[in-house]
Homo-oligomer: A and B are copies of this chain.
Amino acid sequence: MNFITTPVKGMSDILPADMKLREHVLRLIRDTYATYGFEEIATPSMEHIENLSGRIGGENEKLIFRVLKRGRELEKGLETGELSDCGMRYDLTVPLARYYSNLKNQLPTPLKALQIGNVWRADKPQKGRFRQFTQCDIDIIGDSSVMAEIELIAATCGMLTRIFGEVGVTDFTVHINDRRILKAMAQGAGFAPEQFDDVFIALDKMDKIGPEGVRESLLKSGCEEAAADSYLAMFDGFVSGESAGDFCGRVCEGELLADVPAQIDLIMNSAAGMTAPGVHLLFDPTLVRGMSYYTGTIFEITIDGYNFSIAGGGRYDEMIGRFSGQQAPACGFSIGFERIVTILKDLDWKDPEAGREKIAYLVDEKAGSEKIMEVFARASRDREEGAVVSVQPLRKNAKFQVESLEKNGYGRVRKVYADTEL
């Protein structure tokens, strides 16, 4: 026998203290979204290979862990399709689209769904990248109005305020933009529709490389100088805090956008009334978001002081239709669960349950049956009174045992011998 004690490469064993944090965060996520009428759903970890390869997953489609068919030996000479017809999901969006198409007759409209689960990516192992990690998505399917965006932003900010309040972090920024504004601006600057993807990839780097860098990147991808200059000039006068209505009024042709800027203003004004004072809502015309399936509003939330997003999402009105053949508007958030957990750990999160009384009875091996029964009866009463109680044998190295229990929050550690009065 040749057992391997380390986990499979890129995947993690989770220690009790880390699980406590993770479960605590998951409970706050569940409880908060429930208050907003979201209901939890679940999908299997494996998905048909056809669904995983349908161009919804972007770059993640290159990272599929394929699963071999039941009973299929790896005989030489077999084709891929004969060996494997499913793989591990790399996100929760593809399964959600399939789920909704499968069960829509049994689901309410709109469906307000919370989905929490592991996803798997055959990524190159590196710091902060895992091959299995937990994702947490919230989506509203069947609501084409901005009410979906408002509920999603308000609930997500409520959740973040609650979770990070425990480590004293209260300031978040919600960056909001709209794919239609991105497109109208690119069109207004003179780019051709087939150049839009390159333009957005360049714009996405604005906060890192600045306008000069974006210009260079545009020219490198073959855009005309005039278009690049006219595009960058649009962002010139933008000041953080300017409303979508004001900005678009200045830089875009009105008829292209119809009521898009007004919708963003409404989303921001409504959400502002529902979120804590530390939550800042900003229209951000440089926000791009990678996934090509977004059709309207896009958003991203950052913790002030950290320059990466901890939640992001947008409206994707055309994806469900590709599954079910029947269009359904949809809008959703992906929450960076692993990032949130990492930040909380860095900020020295303390278990709020740690205040609970914890008692350990360490029973000497010669204590005898009568005493053991007495200890357990006592433990039972302590538990009824609300304490966490652990009964265990007194080890030879009792000093170390007591210390490690105390470190784990056991405020009362009692050694029990045959003659101990309980």
Contacts and interface: CB of A to CB of B under 8 A. Distances in A.
A274 B68 contact: no
Contacts of A147: 363, 372, 391-393
A44 interface: yes
Contacts of A365: 145
A195 interface: no
A239 interface: no
Interface in A184-200: none
Given A101-B5, A376-B154, A40 B68 contact: no
Contacts of A30: 23
Interface in A100-118: 101-103, 106-110, 112-113, 118
Contacts of A67: 65-68, 88
A99 B13 contact: yes
Interface stretch (A74-82, A224-232, A281-289, A307-315): A74-82
A36 B3 contact: no
Given A13-B42, A23-B40, A373 B98 contact: no
Interface in A37-57: 37, 39-48, 50-51, 54-55
A7 B44 CA distance: 7
A420 interface: no
A389 interface: yes
Contact of A13 (B41, B78, B273, B388): B41
Given A79-B74, A102-B6, A360 B37 contact: yes
A132 interface: yes
A56 to B, nearest CB: 9
Interface string A368-400: 010011001101100100011111110100000
Interface in A290-343: 322-324
Contact of A8 (B15, B46, B266): B46
A151 interface: yes
A382 B88 CA distance: 41
A102 B36 contact: no
A35 interface: yes
Contacts of A48: 4, 8
A234 interface: no
A19 interface: yes
A109 B376 contact: no
A18 B322 CA distance: 27
A174 interface: no
Q: Which of under 10, 10 to 19, 20 to 34, or 35 or more describes the interface residues of A?
A: 35 or more
Interface string A7-24: 110011111100110110
A132 B68 contact: no
A51 B23 CA distance: 28
Contacts of A12: 44
Interface in A75-95: 76-80, 83-84, 86, 88
A145 B393 contact: yes
B74 A70 contact: no
Nearest to A151: B391
B390 A112 contact: yes
A154 B390 CA distance: 12
Interface string A136-158: 00000001111100110010000
23 contacts: A1-B54, A2-B50, A2-B54, A6-B102, A7-B102, A8-B48, A13-B99, A14-B42, A19-B41, A20-B40, A22-B42, A46-B65, A46-B120, A46-B132, A65-B70, A76-B78, A108-B408, A109-B395, A109-B401, A143-B393, A144-B393, A147-B372, A273-B380
Given A4-B98, A27-B27, 15 more contacts: A1-B322, A4-B48, A5-B102, A20-B40, A37-B389, A44-B132, A45-B120, A73-B80, A74-B79, A74-B84, A108-B404, A147-B392, A150-B376, A269-B369, A271-B376
* 9 cross-chain pairs, A with B, having the tightest CB-CB distances, nearest first: A37-B390, A11-B44, A16-B39, A70-B122, A14-B42, A74-B80, A5-B101, A19-B40, A66-B68
